[in-house]
């Protein structure tokens, strides 16, 4: 990250131009504005945002839990099991800064019906390739029903240790959910996308969610939320 402290330079430049500094207005992409008086500002910091790496990490493993599919040992966008990785709106192929209907690729929810697993709307299948894909509803239900869930911690990150019939385990970080520009409930809640649209309302999809008491179930969530993805392979 490149960091430059520039406040002193800016103030000196304004004085040199004979302009009295009053303050700074910051405009966001969503149209909001925040004003700061010069007396409130200690420094201005500019940085280069590090892009999220979505490619298959070298550390990825396919874990045989004794279920119908094998599960990746880390989230998409993560390099290690304890990292929360990236968040995705359902059916989208990239991460973004704002997660709401104004930025969603299909705001009328008319473009997709059924399951996206293994299709052109499946970011796992598109980016990781091979036999990797976003879990189907059946894959998620099996993980929910046939495994033992334990609230746990790995390298400082809280989440659930999910142990399958084979005795093998995967760790699902409590990565929270993104709504608008904010990340909510990180560390106490996990929400993982399946490839299945809700059968009764096209504006919703089916996710596997869990809380800090390790309670977990299949939930119906709005498609524009930013949620985690744990890839699976055949």
How would you class 19 by CB atoms within 10 Å of its CB: exposed for 0-12, middle for 13-18, buried for 19 or more? exposed
Cα-based distances in Å from 110 to 60, 68, 135, 204: 35, 31, 22, 12
Prediction pTM value = 0.80
Contacts of 188 (CB under 8 A, 6+ apart): 158, 174, 176, 211, 212
CA–CA dist 131, 25 (Å, integer): 49
pLDDT digit string (tens) for 67-89?
999 999 999 999 999 999 999 99
Tell me the sheet residues that pair with 170.
Answer: 162
Task: Give residue 7's pLDDT band: very low, low, confident or very high (50, 70, 90).
Answer: very low
Cα-based distances in Å from 128 to 56, 72, 79, 93, 102: 6, 11, 13, 12, 28
pLDDT digit string (tens) for 119-164?
999 999 999 999 999 999 999 999 999 999 999 999 999 999 999 9
CA–CA dist 86, 156 (Å, integer): 18
């Amino acid at each position: 990250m490149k960091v430059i402290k520039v406040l002193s330079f800016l103030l000196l430049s304004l004085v040199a131009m004979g302009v009295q500094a009053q303050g700074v207005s910051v405009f966001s992409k969503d149209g909001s504005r925040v004003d700061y008086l010069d007396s409130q500002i200690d420094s201005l910091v500019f940085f280069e945002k590090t892009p999220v790496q979505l490619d298959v990490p070298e550390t990825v493993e396919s874990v045989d839990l004794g279920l119908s599919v094998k599960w990746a040992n880390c989230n998409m966008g993560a390099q290690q099991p304890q990292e929360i990785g990236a968040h995705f709106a359902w059916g989208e192929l990239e991460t973004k800064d704002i997660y709401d209907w104004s930025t969603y690729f299909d705001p009328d929810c008319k473009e997709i019906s059924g399951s996206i697993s293994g299709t052109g709307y499946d970011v796992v299948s598109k980016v990781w390739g091979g036999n990797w894909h976003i879990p189907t509803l059946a894959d998620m239900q099996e993980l929910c029903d046939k495994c033992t869930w334990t609230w746990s911690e790995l390298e400082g990150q809280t989440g659930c240790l999910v142990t399958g019939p084979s005795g093998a385990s995967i760790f699902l970080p409590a990565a929270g959910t993104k709504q608008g520009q904010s990340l909510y409930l990180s560390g106490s809640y996990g929400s993982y996308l399946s490839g299945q649209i809700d059968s009764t309302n096209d504006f919703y999809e089916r996710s596997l969610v869990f809380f800090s008491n390790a309670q977990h179930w299949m939930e119906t969530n709005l498609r524009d939320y930013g949620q985690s993805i744990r890839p699976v392979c055949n």
